[in-house]
């Protein structure tokens, strides 16, 4: 059983991952009646998976989908799995098919890719998620994310297992006999209603978040003499941009 999700949404952050989870859970419930637990495996990317926002979603998994869940992280550079083979096969076959088509009928958009794959690759289940639907889902999550507390020590652990609605067990290894129980208390609820905001929240640990303060510092100008009062060396900004890419 497999599922490949294709989307025209270009920002791969925790909110978009959550939307893809929603599609995945609907698919699993149709294929596996009586499903009662899901165990996720992923790499430890701090901008998508190993962060406070995804931990908050994991705690709410039972409430959102009626199914318990755990999240386990591969060690660095050890995250290859059958899903990589599915994606690689899809892209290879699509590239070959596109090159064999007339110049005015090539596969050029994510939707073209989905329509072609759904029709031509047997045994592969595909779903298409529009960017507008991802953005709508992210807006719904903004209030939840703004109250998500920090998770101290998450970077050095490789398993997150919810035990109550407000606490998780973090393990250094998935097979560790015991772990560290962490109680997560929500931060104060923001006054503004962020469900109408178009901005997608990014986890604190992501390179994008580290870049924002520098961009803001470069824009501060002393109105008296019209010169910047805080600047960032060009080499430092370039290095951070490379890390974002």
- pLDDT one-digit tens code per residue, 10-35: 998 999 999 999 999 999 999 999 99
Burial 32-63 (b: 16+ CB within 10 A, else e): eeeeeebebebbbbbbbbbbbbbbbbbbbbee
Sign of CA dihedral 149, 74, 127, 135: positive
Closest CA to 64 of 76, 52, 56, 72: 56
Distance CA 97, CA 54 (A): 37
Which stretches within 182-233 are classed as H helix? Answer: 207-218
How high is the pLDDT of residue 75? 84
How high is the pLDDT of residue 209? 41
How high is the pLDDT of residue 104? 84
Residues forming a β-bridge with 7: 129
How high is the pLDDT of residue 229? 43
Q: Which helix (H) or strand (E) holds 5?
A: strand 4-7
Inter-residue contact 16 to 112 (CB < 8 Å): no
Using the structure block, give the residue that is written with the tokens 């893809």.
20
How high is the pLDDT of residue 84? 81
Closest CA to 162 of 185, 181, 134, 140: 181
According to DSSP, residue 234 is labeled: H
State the greatest distance between any 2 C-alpha atoms of the chain, in Å, as a whole number: 69
According to DSSP, residue 76 is labeled: T
pLDDT < 50 positions in the chain: 191, 193-196, 198, 205-233, 235
Sign of CA dihedral 104, 110, 116, 121: positive
How high is the pLDDT of residue 1? 87
Closest CA to 126 of 24, 13, 234: 24
Residues forming a β-bridge with 183: 167
How high is the pLDDT of residue 189? 55
Using the structure block, give the residue that is written with the tokens 């031509």.
120
Inter-residue contact 56 to 204 (CB < 8 Å): no
How high is the pLDDT of residue 188? 58
Rounded to 5°, the CA angle 203-208-209 comes to 55
How high is the pLDDT of residue 183? 87
How high is the pLDDT of residue 52? 93
């Amino acid at each position: 059983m497999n599922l490949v999700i294709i989307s025209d949404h270009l920002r791969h952050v925790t909110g978009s991952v959550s939307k893809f989870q929603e599609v995945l859970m609907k698919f699993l419930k149709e294929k596996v009646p009586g499903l009662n637990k899901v165990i996720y495996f992923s790499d430890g990317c701090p901008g998508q998976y190993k962060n406070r926002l995804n931990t908050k979603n994991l705690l709410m998994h039972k409430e959102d989908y009626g199914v318990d869940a755990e999240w386990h992280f591969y060690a660095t550079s050890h995250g290859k799995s059958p899903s990589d083979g599915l994606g690689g096969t899809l892209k290879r076959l699509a590239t070959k098919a596109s090159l064999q088509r007339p110049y005015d009928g090539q596969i050029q958009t994510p939707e073209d890719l989905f329509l072609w794959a759904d029709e031509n690759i047997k045994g592969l289940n595909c779903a298409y998620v529009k960017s507008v639907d991802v953005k709508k889902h992210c807006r719904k999550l903004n209030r939840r994310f703004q109250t998500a507390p920090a998770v101290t020590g998450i970077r050095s652990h490789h398993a997150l297992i919810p035990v109550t609605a407000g606490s998780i067990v973090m393990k250094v290894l998935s097979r560790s006999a015991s772990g560290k129980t962490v109680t997560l208390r929500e931060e104060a609820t923001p006054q503004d209603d962020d469900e109408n905001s178009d901005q997608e929240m990014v986890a604190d640990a992501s390179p994008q978040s580290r870049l924002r303060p520098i961009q803001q510092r470069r824009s501060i100008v002393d109105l008296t003499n019209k010169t910047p009062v805080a600047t960032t060396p060009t080499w430092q900004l370039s290095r951070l941009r490379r890390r974002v890419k």
